Structure 1
Amino acid sequence: MKKILNLVCASALSISCVLALPAQAKEADVPSTINWTVPFGVGGGTDVWARFIAPYLTKYIPTNPTVVIRNQPGGGSITGANLFYKRAKDDGSTMLATSASTLFPYMLGDKRVRYNFDKWVPLMASPTGGVVYVQPGLGVKSAADIDKLDGMTLPFGSQGPTRLELPVLIAFEMLGLDVKPVFGMKSRGAGRLAFERGEAKIDFQTTSAYLNSVVDLVNNDKAIPLFSLGVLNKEGKIVRDPAFPDLPTFQEVYAQKFGKQPSGMEYTAYSKFFAAGFAFQKMIFIPSDTPTDVVSAYRSSVENMLKDPKFIEDSAVQVGPYQSIVGIDAAQHIQEALTVSPELYTWISGWLKKKFDYTL
């Protein structure tokens, strides 16, 4: 565990130093083509997010390079991230998109992880939200009816116990739901398709995928939304998601069902992985050995992109009304987000073993 924490601190220090670069670059040698690795399948939240952002990167990066999305699914993003770590070029021609499914295994010391965040520089961190929904016909019309799910077995298509769904799986248990995850989905998009085929009774999608692929299901009475995960406000408290203001948060549903606020180590674990996985749910990284003038040019380009009124308007529709993080603030918040205390590590490793027979 000490080794994991040391890696996190070293990573954050490296990131902080690189992000302290000047905001303007001179005569940056920017490649004409950028290959953007998305370590997930087509149709999932990260893929949707990347395909939305790619044209804006082309617009604002000097030389207007072609941004090519390259999907490399497998291992809940570990496969693609490992390949990027091993093969990525340091000339600015390669980027990586990450999600919670990339952060969580690193935080938990997953032995399959070969990548180190101290070798990558974050250009942008985008928060997101998410919504849990169920099949119609279960007698549930909203979260107010959640007691009706007690005793029902609810299959759930999942990438894995340490992937994006980790805090959602904890939430399911805290709510007393008999959710039976079917692990091995290549993306959250694959989980949604299992839901559409009727193989899964409950599902979860991040905001971008929900807006693009699930809203139509809801409008056509093929899905019933239960609750959102909420968002963190400036005080670090979880509040209702502005993308789904009419949906209660997990905390509200818990309080409604049990007459008290969630607490204990289980809730500490939920809160920690929710913060790490959703405040920094979508990120863009490039190798830390990329020339400083190229890094600076990319940073300036992202900052300009985020100020574009058209981007802001489209982002609210495609991704959600969230504020992305850039610069030194991102590095500081990432350090806190990736730090797992020994006590929490002990609890989560024990829970994963007991619940899913999964050994970290």
Structure 2
Amino acid sequence: MTVPRQTATSSASGHATRRRGPSMADVAREAGVSGQTVSRVANGKTNVDDATRERVLAAMRRVGYRPNSAARALRNGQFRSIGVIISALPTFGNSRTLDAIAAAVVPEGFSIILMPVTRPTQGEVTGAFSTLNEQAVDGVIILIEQHQLDQSEIELPHGLPVVVIDSSARYDYPVVDNDQADGAARATSHLLSLGHSTVWHIAGPPQSYSAERRRKSWQATLERAGRPVPPVVVGDWSPESGYQAGLRLAADPTVTAVFAANDQMALGLLRALHETGRGVPSEVSVVGFDDMEESAHFWPPLTTIRQSFEAVGRHAVEALLTEIETGAEAGEPVLLPTELVIRSSTAPPPA
């Protein structure tokens, strides 16, 4: 017989009183098993055969029983929850990496508590950690793009396992990132190999760690090749900023090759070149960075640097869960390789 769900009833004084919800004992009676077996199933133990487990789970659904995660956390010493401190300003890379983190934690039985910060100051970062501590997380992933996180006045609180994404590895925590410098070098070298005398650059915002890494690598690659280093044109990751930068670059007939620090700015650049009559790639070659899904459908299809946000998110979760389970010390930073994807937006310079 199915045990009815408990509901609020009226007391003798006329006030509504809430009675207890379904208990493990109710589930045990419904499933015809012992309370200890129900406890094993509720706590994810493996010493229950599959048929019994399914019978207990079905009984839980029928009576409306939900395991008490807080009580389970006190017993097991884990809350099965991960905090993510993330820049409040959304970017393509951060959004994709966050999706990858979520996809990686769900199969492990963890949930995510998201904590956006407007500016990565000591106060905001410490406040975010304090809030996550109050919400009982087992560890924290930091996904803050701004390189101010690397400045000396920022000190991350201790006491929780931490993994940092997209930073300069100046912390005693595991750091996971795509190899930004290698990707920018690949983009610049590709254009030089086609015969261009130099490569112009539309950089991301100066407060971005990724933008800084890509800009420095672009410059170093030109210097190693003995080529002139043009003035940097700074954007803000948006197509509009790429468009405005493109109007400036299109007015200079000596510009034959441009490396944009992300695909969205490259999209704006392509529009500016089209509107001003500069052919791509017949007059100007363009390389982006990210390999967002739409890049293959730009006109012309965009040559770009592919970085794996999915791999970054997966490696970050793996590193954090290892810290949580073993308390292992931080190893070397994990830098994941990038890939040059050649499409139709690059060619040798005009004769």
TM-score by length of 1: 0.41
Greater share of residues in helix? 1
Q: Greater Rg, structure 1 or structure 2?
A: 2
TM-score by length of 2: 0.42
